[in-house]
Amino acid sequence: MNKVELAEAISSKVGAPRKQIEDVLEAFEEVVTQTIKGGSEVTLTGFGTFSARRRTARMGVNPQKPTERIQIPEVVVPKFKAGKSLKDALKA
């Protein structure tokens, strides 16, 4: 399901115009991105938590030359931890 399909599904469930739902989804993305970029978490109780995680620098293997070792730099990556309600819904 892509963003347009999600907006359409929410629109039919809520009864709001699809364009309005698309605007809400874009605002949600922006708020979550800015919040985790700032070092905080976004928690939707029961659904899950969005956060940023720092992946430390490490040595790796060059995929083009497997005998060559390369330094992989430290990077910040997004992380999502599913909440209890979401986990339980998937088990059923």
Instruction: Please report the pLDDT score of residue 92 as a whole number.
Output: 76
2 burial via Cβ count (<10 Å: 0-12, 13-18, 19+): exposed
Contacting residues for 17 by C-beta, under 8 A, at least 6 apart: 11
Which residues of the chain, if any, have pLDDT below 70? Answer: none
Q: Which two tokens stand for residue 41?
A: 């978490």
Instruction: Please report the pLDDT score of residue 54 as a whole number.
Output: 94
Q: Which domains does the chain have, with CATH numbers?
A: 3-91 (4.10.520.10)
